[in-house]
């Protein structure tokens, strides 16, 4: 295997940040194994040198925390025994076989497989799951995006994203891109919008966020009332006849079934429920209707709260009814290097509780319920990769109990996590900067980009990349005929064309070949790739798919064919453009007859009609506050930062409350408070913040990890949020959790 050269003082390595979906291009200068300097990559195809303060702290990911350097097996007394790789793989494969042969492969459950910025490993887990006969999986998207994806499947048939650089009106709903990014070059784009008098920014958020400070219109709704606010805007659009009839006639279907529901919306009541002036709602609707282009972005502020799937539908109706699709500055579909979710309206059910699996994914809030039962179809084993569900899923106590009830738990990660401490086996992965990696967050239109990241450092001794871990387990299971591997290895040595023909011939005679394709590619094409890029072998198949599905867009991007695209991926240290569309191409992505968008979703129209009877308040006398469990701040990030020293501000993760509530509770800055919910209690330092409205409180994400100390124990800084959340509070359609809307009680702690 060819390893990256160890850096001299002048060597800069091109790579990318791994902390949010934008994956900004960066350059890293190393000093031994440390990241001595980090700067934006001006050559990066998407971000052009832009980066935020968090990317500059990536050394705390690479060299912080409790790195694992050997496989571990947990013993009966809870201690861990180091193992060599061969023994660990042999034991894990044997125990997986036992579960499969005793209870069926469908009893093996997979979680993760695509941690933030860490997607190549996730591309290979499917082959392992098929080798075991496993059918059920989940991941972080099930905590956020399932409802939106299901709505997208009904409407445009796939994901859409806003073109904020050119939008006349930009609308952010439950989204603070100043801190959470999500928009490429977010802060630059936000400042450009704010400075331009011809453009309008609308923010819907109960908190006066940094983005709201820049906005022309801040819809500071009461927590949990976003659905009423959006219904009111739609009511104004329809009742004042501000919709784009020509667009509806030319590009949509069955609008006549939707408009009467909006015609009957009581706009005044919607304003009252959401705590807004009715004139502000009407002004907002008129601004949207008058604009030449509108882009919207919904995020966790609404996707992890009440009525989240309905909210996704209402947001999309706003831009559809005003004709803001497939034109500059509006909402756009896009190509994919690899789809992150299945956009389908068909719904499977989980085996025990019968919960809906939108996109074929098990909702996170039902996982514990699927295990903690005597049902014969309950899950019996879990493989958990690049994820920490014992910390990140609602109701940690219930999930920990569920893990203890399983016959087998295997965790693959770079560090010893809260989940790893509960596993039967922990396998050490190389970090994201020690291996070839990529993300499939490719959401741009008309130019869509992809970035394969080369390793910055040699792998830490004792660790392996996830594709190799999966491959070793598959080898031990012995499910792939040796003749298949022999044929493909011979073909790979002869060149790409013979390999393609051989692969197609094998797939024609053995239907299982396509399901095992990632493993087959890794074992046969992978060793022929330059610079040890074996894990990138799966991208060859993705390049072939791109060539089939988007041939003209691929060629416009400068790639003569799929193999040329694959070569470009391998060589493009600052990323590449893999498709170049034209605006009229957008309609080709609408996966419905005649490329028309069908507007009705009857179940959601029913929920819209029922808003008059739907509770808008979920607090009680016992729990009078709404707690947002997981606020993004300047020095919070994903918990892959297992190191508290990276923060320059808010080191303890303060509880933010309004001045009114502080006065009522007798609290001041720096005081200690106790937070109590229906599931647990925690203590936090108080920060009085006039950005919060009365009755609303917030704790930051990224805290509450149990990190090692010098004396060999662990120490927790800040609140582990999911000791407070309740898995029963979830969306009735998508099952997404109410992390941002937790009824709570706050009390001053006295000495």
Token duo for residue 672: 């200690």
CA distance 47 to 36: 22
Q: What is the pLDDT of residue 713?
A: 87
At residue 617, the pLDDT reads 97
Query: Structure tokens of 120?
Result: 């190549």
* CATH code for the structural domain at 146-336+594-610: 3.40.228.10
Do 55 and 38 meet the contact criterion of CB atoms below 8 Å apart? yes
Class of domain 72-141+348-580: alpha beta
Domains 146-336+594-610 and 618-748 agree in fold? no
Cα(422)–Cα(445) distance, integer angstroms: 43
Q: Does CATH place domain 618-748 in 3.40.50.170?
A: no
Under 8 Å between Cβ of 96 and 682: no
For the chain, the straight-line distance linking the first and the last C-alpha, in angstroms and rounded, comes to 61
Q: Exposed, middle or buried: residue 161 (CB in 10 Å: 0-12, 13-18, 19+)?
A: middle
**How are the residues of the chain apportioned to helix, strand and coil, as percentages rounded to the nearest 5?**
40, 20, 40
**Where do runs of H (alpha helix) occur along 691-745?**
none
pLDDT at position 116 = 78
User: What phi and psi, each to the nearest 5 degrees, are found at residue 163?
Assistant: -105, 75
Q: What are phi and psi of 218, to 5 degrees?
A: -110, 110
Q: How far apart are CA 166 and CA 447, in angstroms?
A: 14
Nearest-angstrom CA–CA distance, 613 and 401: 37
Cβ count within 10 A of residue 8: 8
- The answer to whether the beta carbons of residues 581 and 335 sit under 8 Å apart is yes
Question: What is the predicted pLDDT for the residue at 213?
Answer: 98
Residues 6+ positions from 117 with CB-CB distance below 8 Å: 16, 17, 18, 19, 23, 432, 437, 439
Q: How far apart are CA 432 and CA 438, in angstroms?
A: 9
What is the distance between the alpha carbons of residues 291 and 193, in angstroms, rounded to a whole number?
Answer: 14
What local confidence, expressed as pLDDT, does residue 7 receive?
42
* 652 token code pair: 């303890």
pTM assigned to the model? 0.96
Q: Which residues of the chain have pLDDT under 50?
A: 1-2, 5-8
Show the tokens assigned to 16. 């990318």
Distance CA 433, CA 454 (A): 8
Query: Nearest to residue 199, comparing CAs of 235, 169, 232?
Result: 169
Q: Quick check: 687 and 718 in contact, CB under 8 A?
A: no
Domain residue extents for the chain: 13-62, 72-141+348-580, 146-336+594-610, 618-748
- Cα distance between residue 399 and residue 143, in whole Å: 14
Give the domain 13-62 fold. Phosphorylase Kinase; domain 1 (3.30.200)
- Cα–Cα distance between 39 and 645 in angstroms, integer? 20
Rounded Cα distance between 597 and 490, Å, is: 48
């Amino acid at each position: 295997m060819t390893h990256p050269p160890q850096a001299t003082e002048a060597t800069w390595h091109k790579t990318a940040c791994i902390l949010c979906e934008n994956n900004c291009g960066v350059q890293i200068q190393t000093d031994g194994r440390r990241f001595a300097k980090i700067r934006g990559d001006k050559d990066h195809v998407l971000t052009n040198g832009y980066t935020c303060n968090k990317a500059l702290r990536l050394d705390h990911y690479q060299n912080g925390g409790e790195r694992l350097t050997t496989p571990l097996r947990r013993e009966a007394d809870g201690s861990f025994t180091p193992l060599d790789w061969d023994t660990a793989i042999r034991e894990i494969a044997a125990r997986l076989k036992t579960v499969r042969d005793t209870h069926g492969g469908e009893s093996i459950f997979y979680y993760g497989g695509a941690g933030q910025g860490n997607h190549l490993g996730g591309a290979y887990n499917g082959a392992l799951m098929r080798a075991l006969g496993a059918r059920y999986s989940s991941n972080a998207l099930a905590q956020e995006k399932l409802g939106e994806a299901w709505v997208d499947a009904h409407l445009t048939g796939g994901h859409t994203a806003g073109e904020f650089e050119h939008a006349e009106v930009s609308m952010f709903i439950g989204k603070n891109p100043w801190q959470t990014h999500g928009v490429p070059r977010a802060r630059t784009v936000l400042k450009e919008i704010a400075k331009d008098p011809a453009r309008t920014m609308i923010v819907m958020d109960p908190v006066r966020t940094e983005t709201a400070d820049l906005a022309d219109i801040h819809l500071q709704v009461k927590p949990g009332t976003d659905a009423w606010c959006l219904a009111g805007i739609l009511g104004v659009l329809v009742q004042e006849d501000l919709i784009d009839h020509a667009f509806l006639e030319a590009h949509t279907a069955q609008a006549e079934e939707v408009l009467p529901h909006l015609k009957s919306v009581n706009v005044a009541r919607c304003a009252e429920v959401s705590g807004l002036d009715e004139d502000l709602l009407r002004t907002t609707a008129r601004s949207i209707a008058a604009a030449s282009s509108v882009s919207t972005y919904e995020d966790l502020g609404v996707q992890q709260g009440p009525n989240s799937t309905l909210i996704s539908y209402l947001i999309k109706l706003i831009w559809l009814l005003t004709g803001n699709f497939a034109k500059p500055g509006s909402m756009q579909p896009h190509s994919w290097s690899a789809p992150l979710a299945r956009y389908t309206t068909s719904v499977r059910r989980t085996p025990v509780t019968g919960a809906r699996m939108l996109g074929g994914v098990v909702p996170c809030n039902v996982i514990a319920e699927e295990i903690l039962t005597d049902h014969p179809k309950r899950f019996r084993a879990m493989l958990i990769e690049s994820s920490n569900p014992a910390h990140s899923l609602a109701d940690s106590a219930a999930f920990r109990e569920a893990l203890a009830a399983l016959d087998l738990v295997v965790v693959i990660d770079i560090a010893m996590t809260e989940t790893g401490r509960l596993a039967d086996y922990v396998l050490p992965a190389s970090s994201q900067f020690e291996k070839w990696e990529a993300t499939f967050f490719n959401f741009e239109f008309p130019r869509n980009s992809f970035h394969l990241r080369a390793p910055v450092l040699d792998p830490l001794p004792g660790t392996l990349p996830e594709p190799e871990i999966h491959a070793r387990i598959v080898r031990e299971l012995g499910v792939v005929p040796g003749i298949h591997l022999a044929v493909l290895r011979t073909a790979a040595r002869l060149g790409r064309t013979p390999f393609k023909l051989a692969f197609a011939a094998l797939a024609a005679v053995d239907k299982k070949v396509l399901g095992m394709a990632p493993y087959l590619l890794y074992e046969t094409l992978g060793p022929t790739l330059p610079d040890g890029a074996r894990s990138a072998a799966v991208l060859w198949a993705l390049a072939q798919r791109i060539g089939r599905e988007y041939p003209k867009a691929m060629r416009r991007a400068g790639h003569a064919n799929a193999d040329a695209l694959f070569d470009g991926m391998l060589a493009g240290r600052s990323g590449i453009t893999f498709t170049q569309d034209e605006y009229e191409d957008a309609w080709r992505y609408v996966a419905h007859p005649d490329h028309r968008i069908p507007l009705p979703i009857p179940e959601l129209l029913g929920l819209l009609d029922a808003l008059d009877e739907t509770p808008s308040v979920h607090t009680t006398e016992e729990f009078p506050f709404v707690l947002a469990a997981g606020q993004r701040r300047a020095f919070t990030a994903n918990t892959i930062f297992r190191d508290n020293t990276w923060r320059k501000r808010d080191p303890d993760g303060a509880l933010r409350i309004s001045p009114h509530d502080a006065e009522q509770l007798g609290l001041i800055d720096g005081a200690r408070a106790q937070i109590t919910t229906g599931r647990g209690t925690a203590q936090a330092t108080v920060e009085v913040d006039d950005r919060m409205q009365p009755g609303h409180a917030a704790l930051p994400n990224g805290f509450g990890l149990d990190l090692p100390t010098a004396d060999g124990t662990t120490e927790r800084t800040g609140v582990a949020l999911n000791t407070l959340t309740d898995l029963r509070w979830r969306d009735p359609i998508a099952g997404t959790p109410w992390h941002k809307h937790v009824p709570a009680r706050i009390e001053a702690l006295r000495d």
